[in-house]
Amino acid sequence: MSLNEHFRITDGALRIELASEADYERVGDITVDAYLHAGHFDDPEHEYLQFVRKVDARAQEAEVYVARRDGRAIASMTLVTFGNGYADIALEGELEIRMLSVDPSVQRSGAGRAMVQAAIDRARREPGVHTVSLTTGQDWTAARALYESMGFVRREERDWYVPNTDILLIVYTLELD
């Protein structure tokens, strides 16, 4: 996969694009802050949070995106396909959204919805991709409501626990037209 174009929501206030090296630290901060804010972790030094901060390594193998409002990165996500080292749940023919995070100070501003829509649009252009998949936290009711409002369906048989934790991740998929 590769993409060099930009996505824009209709009002032009939000721009979604591939992250640059200059964005990597901010992407890590957004992700950690969002996970801490959601209550999945209470220790900012947790092993998984250290993993998500390694954006430079992730960007070598996957597509990492940022959403900018007024030039400032306020959200991020990673897109991977089946077989990618960063894929958790992607089956053959799926584009997986990983680490979708919105800065807690701007959550519910439309950035998350725009990121998901950009991933759907991206998937529709990828040969052989027929489904978008993602995981979310069991208690992340706002995120789950967003995904369901966009047509994603829970796939309970694919739910799984983060290794070495009691964190249940809920799997959603969206079949593309």
**Could you give all domains of the chain from N- to C-terminal order, each with its CATH number?**
7-175 (3.40.630.30)
Rounded to whole angstroms, how far apart are CA atoms 2 and 145? 30
Which helix (H) or strand (E) element contains residue 64?
A: strand 63-69
Query: Using one digit for the tens of pLDDT, what is the confidence trace for 49-107?
Result: 889 899 999 999 999 999 999 999 999 999 999 999 999 999 999 999 999 999 988 88
Alpha-carbon Rg of the chain, whole angstroms?
Answer: 15
Q: What pLDDT, on a 0 to 100 scale, did the predictor assign at position 6?
A: 46
Which residues on adjacent β-strands are paired with residue 147?
none
Q: How confident is the model at residue 12 (pLDDT cuts 50, 70, 90)?
A: low
Percent share of the chain, pLDDT over 90:
67
